[in-house]
Amino acid sequence: MSITLSRPVAALALLCSATLLLAETPTQVLLPDAPALVLADVGYALKLPVSDAVPYQGMVDKDAGAGQAGAMLYPAFGLIGALAAVATHGIIVEASKNSERSRLQASADKVLTPYSDAIAGFSQRAMMQQALDGLSGAGTRKVLAATEPAESGWVIETATRFSLNTDVTAMVLDAPVLVYAADQPTEPRYRNMVHVVSDPRPVVPAGEAAAEARNLRLKQDSIALMAHAMQALLADLASERRPGQPASSDRTVRYQEGSVLRSERGQVLSEHCGRVVLRNLRGWLMSVPQRQSPGSTVDPSCGVPAAVPTAAPAATPLESTVANIDKPA
């Protein structure tokens, strides 16, 4: 027995199915085989997103969710009516979830209120240039506007989104990246998502003097996270991948996201300078703080955890760079 759906019902069902598929499709990851691409020595251009404003948002509690779908109470007669009711119910439930997500996000965004002045005066160009200045490598590197063409060499195209948790003890960067040759922009060599979690952030007390320190810390942490993202990306591009080469076994990595203990399963790529870089099961790159034993800190040489020094260690090049972001040249 064949069943024919009316055109409006069929179109509505198809639209709902496509919406669900798009919502569940992860970022497509492209990891090419060898040869390795050592951009730190070859050089590259980092292309800015269209908007020069640095986007920040509050971090929604991952356990809060956006509500559960309720039971379908719409009357339906026959198969056609049932399909129409299912499609209608799906649209209503999705709209309800979107409304709940918007409410949760608006509530989470209140954490950004004390940082409004710092956010308003911070640009993508300034942030990314400062991040590049703290990286090592012999190759030239420059920042390009979104509409500025790259004449030659390699281009890294990215966008950023920073999230701050409710007790401001953690900042997270999510940055989709696309790498291609300047003369072949439609043939990407590499595509991925980079997820970076800050080291646990100290809580800055209230007060006018503290507000200036708090705003400066926001910029410093943003630059540092972008630098970590670039370091992870450049190292991944420089790694040798051979067809059929077996990857190391997956393991569970536990790390602190501020005051919350998180875990992620994936392939560990490096453990260095107090951080772990891994490729999670989606293929995304992650850079997270390495768990340390109580009373220990990371040695300035980026080796094993060392005893807490009696004097402050010398600042790293990245720390020296971000410490001067608000100082006149």
**pLDDT at residue 24 in the model:** 38
Nearest residue to 144 (alpha-carbon basis) of 219, 41, 49? 49
Bridge partners (DSSP) of residue 162 are: 56, 173
| Type and span of the H or E element at 79 | helix 78-108
Q: Write down the pLDDT at residue 57.
A: 93
Q: What is the pLDDT of residue 80?
A: 52
Distance CA 327, CA 329 (A): 6
Two tokens, residue 100: 């709940």
What pLDDT, on a 0 to 100 scale, did the predictor assign at position 84? 54
Q: How many CB atoms lie within 10 A of CB 103?
A: 12
Give the span between the Cα atoms of 18 and 15, in whole angstroms: 5
Position 230, amino acid: M
Residue 28, pLDDT score? 66
pLDDT of residue 249: 80
Tens-digit pLDDT string for the chain (329 aa): 444 444 444 434 433 433 333 333 345 678 776 678 888 888 899 999 999 999 999 988 766 554 444 444 444 445 555 555 555 556 655 565 677 788 888 888 898 998 888 899 899 999 999 999 988 888 888 999 998 988 889 999 999 999 999 888 999 999 999 999 999 888 899 999 999 999 988 776 666 667 888 888 999 999 999 999 999 999 999 886 655 555 668 899 999 998 889 999 999 999 987 899 999 999 999 999 987 655 555 555 553 333 333 333 333 334 344 444 444 33
Q: Do β-strands 190-197 and 285-289 pair in parallel, antiparallel, or remain unpaired? A: parallel
Is there a contact between 201 and 169 (Cβ–Cβ < 8 Å)? yes
**What is the bridge-based pairing of β-strands 44-47 and 251-257?**
unpaired
